[in-house]
Amino acid sequence: MDCSIIEGSECWCDADARAELEARIAPYPAAGIHWIDTGDYHYMTRLWTARLGEPFSLLLLDHHPDVQAPSLGLMAGSDDPLLSCGSWAREVLEKDPDLREFWMVGIDPALSSEAEGLKVRCFTEDDLLNLPEPVFSSPVYISLDLDVLRKEDARTNWDQGRMTLQQLSEYLEAVFARNRVLGVDICGGITAAKGGHAEDFRINAELRDKLIELLMKIK
Protein backbone atom coordinates (compact mmCIF):
# COMPACT_ATOMS: atom_id res chain seq x y z
CA MET A 1 0.00 0.00 0.00
CA ASP A 2 1.67 3.20 -1.20
CA CYS A 3 0.94 6.04 1.23
CA SER A 4 3.84 8.25 0.18
CA ILE A 5 1.59 10.98 -1.25
CA ILE A 6 -0.23 11.52 2.05
CA GLU A 7 0.88 14.87 3.42
CA GLY A 8 1.25 15.49 7.13
CA SER A 9 2.28 11.91 7.85
CA GLU A 10 6.07 11.81 8.33
CA CYS A 11 6.97 11.40 12.02
CA TRP A 12 3.93 13.52 12.96
CA CYS A 13 0.45 12.52 11.80
CA ASP A 14 -2.08 15.32 11.50
CA ALA A 15 -5.87 14.91 11.50
CA ASP A 16 -6.25 14.69 7.72
CA ALA A 17 -3.44 12.17 7.37
CA ARG A 18 -4.84 10.09 10.21
CA ALA A 19 -8.29 10.00 8.64
CA GLU A 20 -6.82 8.98 5.29
CA LEU A 21 -4.67 6.24 6.81
CA GLU A 22 -7.59 4.90 8.85
CA ALA A 23 -9.69 4.74 5.69
CA ARG A 24 -6.98 2.93 3.76
CA ILE A 25 -6.45 0.20 6.36
CA ALA A 26 -10.18 -0.20 7.08
CA PRO A 27 -10.65 -3.11 4.62
CA TYR A 28 -7.90 -5.11 6.32
CA PRO A 29 -8.11 -7.00 9.62
CA ALA A 30 -6.06 -5.93 12.61
CA ALA A 31 -5.04 -9.57 12.95
CA GLY A 32 -2.04 -10.65 10.92
CA ILE A 33 1.40 -9.24 10.20
CA HIS A 34 1.71 -5.59 9.22
CA TRP A 35 4.88 -4.05 7.77
CA ILE A 36 4.84 -0.33 8.48
CA ASP A 37 7.99 1.15 6.85
CA THR A 38 10.62 3.02 8.89
CA GLY A 39 10.31 3.94 12.54
CA ASP A 40 9.13 7.39 11.46
CA TYR A 41 5.69 5.81 11.04
CA HIS A 42 5.52 3.73 14.21
CA TYR A 43 2.38 5.65 15.17
CA MET A 44 0.53 3.25 12.83
CA THR A 45 0.49 0.80 15.75
CA ARG A 46 -2.06 3.06 17.44
CA LEU A 47 -4.31 2.84 14.38
CA TRP A 48 -4.09 -0.95 14.31
CA THR A 49 -4.65 -1.54 18.03
CA ALA A 50 -7.67 0.78 17.98
CA ARG A 51 -9.32 -1.77 15.69
CA LEU A 52 -8.72 -4.91 17.76
CA GLY A 53 -12.18 -4.77 19.33
CA GLU A 54 -11.35 -6.82 22.43
CA PRO A 55 -9.23 -6.60 25.59
CA PHE A 56 -5.56 -6.91 24.73
CA SER A 57 -2.04 -6.65 26.07
CA LEU A 58 0.58 -4.71 24.14
CA LEU A 59 4.16 -5.91 23.82
CA LEU A 60 6.52 -3.26 22.47
CA LEU A 61 9.98 -4.36 21.37
CA ASP A 62 11.81 -1.09 20.81
CA HIS A 63 14.94 0.87 21.69
CA HIS A 64 12.68 3.86 22.50
CA PRO A 65 9.63 3.90 24.81
CA ASP A 66 7.55 6.16 22.49
CA VAL A 67 5.64 7.66 25.43
CA GLN A 68 6.67 11.28 25.07
CA ALA A 69 4.07 13.94 25.72
CA PRO A 70 3.00 15.45 22.38
CA SER A 71 4.72 18.78 21.84
CA LEU A 72 3.26 20.24 18.65
CA GLY A 73 -0.20 21.19 19.85
CA LEU A 74 -3.66 19.92 19.00
CA MET A 75 -5.07 18.54 15.81
CA ALA A 76 -7.26 21.01 13.97
CA GLY A 77 -10.87 20.89 15.17
CA SER A 78 -10.04 18.43 17.95
CA ASP A 79 -9.01 18.28 21.58
CA ASP A 80 -6.60 15.47 20.70
CA PRO A 81 -2.86 16.18 20.43
CA LEU A 82 -1.02 15.35 17.25
CA LEU A 83 -0.03 11.71 16.97
CA SER A 84 3.65 11.01 16.44
CA CYS A 85 6.19 8.23 16.23
CA GLY A 86 7.39 9.28 19.68
CA SER A 87 4.06 9.69 21.45
CA TRP A 88 1.72 7.02 20.06
CA ALA A 89 2.31 4.63 22.98
CA ARG A 90 1.18 7.28 25.47
CA GLU A 91 -2.05 7.67 23.52
CA VAL A 92 -2.66 3.91 23.71
CA LEU A 93 -2.08 4.03 27.46
CA GLU A 94 -4.31 7.02 28.04
CA LYS A 95 -7.14 6.44 25.60
CA ASP A 96 -7.61 2.76 24.76
CA PRO A 97 -10.11 1.22 27.20
CA ASP A 98 -9.30 -2.27 25.96
CA LEU A 99 -5.64 -2.15 26.99
CA ARG A 100 -4.95 -4.47 29.93
CA GLU A 101 -1.16 -4.75 30.09
CA PHE A 102 1.73 -2.97 28.43
CA TRP A 103 5.24 -4.42 28.36
CA MET A 104 8.25 -2.66 26.85
CA VAL A 105 11.34 -4.76 26.06
CA GLY A 106 14.78 -3.61 24.91
CA ILE A 107 14.43 0.03 25.92
CA ASP A 108 17.55 2.20 26.08
CA PRO A 109 18.36 2.47 29.82
CA ALA A 110 18.94 6.19 29.37
CA LEU A 111 15.33 6.59 28.21
CA SER A 112 13.60 4.28 30.67
CA SER A 113 12.76 7.20 32.97
CA GLU A 114 10.26 8.37 30.33
CA ALA A 115 8.06 5.43 31.32
CA GLU A 116 8.18 6.16 35.05
CA GLY A 117 4.76 6.78 36.55
CA LEU A 118 3.00 5.08 33.64
CA LYS A 119 1.20 1.74 33.82
CA VAL A 120 3.86 -0.20 31.96
CA ARG A 121 6.43 -2.88 32.70
CA CYS A 122 9.67 -1.56 31.27
CA PHE A 123 12.61 -3.87 30.60
CA THR A 124 15.75 -2.25 29.24
CA GLU A 125 18.44 -3.80 27.10
CA ASP A 126 20.32 -4.43 30.36
CA ASP A 127 17.55 -6.90 31.26
CA LEU A 128 17.68 -8.95 28.05
CA LEU A 129 19.40 -11.92 29.70
CA ASN A 130 16.95 -11.98 32.60
CA LEU A 131 13.49 -11.29 31.15
CA PRO A 132 10.46 -12.74 32.94
CA GLU A 133 8.40 -15.42 31.27
CA PRO A 134 6.23 -13.64 28.68
CA VAL A 135 2.78 -14.59 29.97
CA PHE A 136 0.05 -11.99 29.54
CA SER A 137 -3.36 -11.72 31.18
CA SER A 138 -5.10 -11.15 27.85
CA PRO A 139 -4.36 -11.81 24.17
CA VAL A 140 -1.29 -9.92 23.03
CA TYR A 141 -0.55 -7.58 20.15
CA ILE A 142 3.16 -7.26 19.31
CA SER A 143 4.80 -4.13 17.93
CA LEU A 144 8.40 -4.57 16.81
CA ASP A 145 10.71 -1.68 15.96
CA LEU A 146 13.83 -3.03 14.31
CA ASP A 147 15.96 -0.45 16.10
CA VAL A 148 15.78 -2.73 19.14
CA LEU A 149 18.31 -4.89 17.27
CA ARG A 150 22.05 -4.40 17.10
CA LYS A 151 23.51 -2.98 13.88
CA GLU A 152 24.92 -6.35 12.86
CA ASP A 153 21.35 -7.59 12.40
CA ALA A 154 19.42 -4.49 11.28
CA ARG A 155 20.03 -1.02 9.91
CA THR A 156 17.68 1.83 10.79
CA ASN A 157 17.58 5.61 10.70
CA TRP A 158 17.42 5.78 14.52
CA ASP A 159 19.95 4.90 17.20
CA GLN A 160 19.88 1.18 17.94
CA GLY A 161 20.00 -1.26 20.83
CA ARG A 162 21.91 -4.45 21.63
CA MET A 163 19.36 -7.23 21.14
CA THR A 164 20.55 -9.95 18.76
CA LEU A 165 18.32 -11.52 16.14
CA GLN A 166 18.72 -14.83 17.98
CA GLN A 167 17.45 -13.28 21.22
CA LEU A 168 14.52 -11.71 19.39
CA SER A 169 13.62 -14.99 17.70
CA GLU A 170 13.72 -16.97 20.93
CA TYR A 171 11.64 -14.35 22.75
CA LEU A 172 8.98 -14.22 20.03
CA GLU A 173 8.77 -18.01 20.00
CA ALA A 174 8.19 -17.95 23.77
CA VAL A 175 5.48 -15.28 23.44
CA PHE A 176 3.64 -17.26 20.76
CA ALA A 177 3.97 -20.48 22.75
CA ARG A 178 2.36 -18.99 25.88
CA ASN A 179 -0.23 -16.54 24.56
CA ARG A 180 -2.86 -15.96 21.92
CA VAL A 181 -1.32 -13.40 19.59
CA LEU A 182 -3.79 -11.01 17.98
CA GLY A 183 -1.40 -9.44 15.50
CA VAL A 184 2.09 -8.18 14.83
CA ASP A 185 3.40 -5.00 13.26
CA ILE A 186 6.98 -4.32 12.26
CA CYS A 187 8.65 -0.99 11.57
CA GLY A 188 12.24 0.07 11.14
CA GLY A 189 14.81 0.12 8.40
CA ILE A 190 16.35 2.96 6.47
CA THR A 191 15.85 4.66 3.13
CA ALA A 192 18.30 6.15 0.69
CA ALA A 193 16.92 9.57 1.53
CA LYS A 194 17.88 8.99 5.18
CA GLY A 195 21.42 7.88 4.31
CA GLY A 196 20.96 4.18 3.60
CA HIS A 197 23.52 2.38 1.41
CA ALA A 198 23.68 -0.94 -0.42
CA GLU A 199 25.03 -2.83 2.60
CA ASP A 200 22.22 -1.49 4.79
CA PHE A 201 19.62 -2.64 2.28
CA ARG A 202 21.25 -6.08 1.98
CA ILE A 203 21.23 -6.62 5.74
CA ASN A 204 17.61 -5.49 6.02
CA ALA A 205 16.48 -7.69 3.13
CA GLU A 206 18.03 -10.71 4.82
CA LEU A 207 16.43 -9.71 8.12
CA ARG A 208 13.01 -9.38 6.51
CA ASP A 209 13.27 -12.86 5.01
CA LYS A 210 14.29 -14.32 8.38
CA LEU A 211 11.43 -12.57 10.20
CA ILE A 212 8.88 -13.75 7.66
CA GLU A 213 10.16 -17.32 8.01
CA LEU A 214 10.04 -17.04 11.81
CA LEU A 215 6.58 -15.51 12.02
CA MET A 216 5.05 -17.87 9.48
CA LYS A 217 6.45 -20.78 11.48
CA ILE A 218 5.07 -19.67 14.83
CA LYS A 219 1.97 -17.84 13.56
- Predicted confidence at residue 68, as pLDDT, reads 87
| DSSP 8-class letter at 130 | G
| pLDDT on residue 71 | 62
Residue ranges, the chain, pLDDT below 70: 71-80, 219
Element (H, E) at 90: helix 88-95
Instruction: Supply the angle between the helices 165-178 and 198-218 in degrees, to the nearest 10.
Output: 20
Express each pLDDT in 81-103 by its tens digit.
788 898 999 999 999 999 999 99
Q: What is the pLDDT of residue 219?
A: 58
State how far the Cα of 57 lies from the Cα of 218, in Å rounded to an integer: 19
Q: What is the pTM of this model?
A: 0.93
What CATH architecture is 32-218?
3-Layer(aba) Sandwich (3.40)
pLDDT, residue 214, reads 93
The domain locations on the chain are 32-218
Would you state the pLDDT for residue 76? 46
DSSP of 158-218: S----B-HHHHHHHHHHHHHHS-EEEEEEE----GGGT--HHHHHHHHHHHHHHHHHHHHH
pLDDT digits (tens, 9 = 90+) for 126-151: 999 999 999 999 999 999 999 999 99
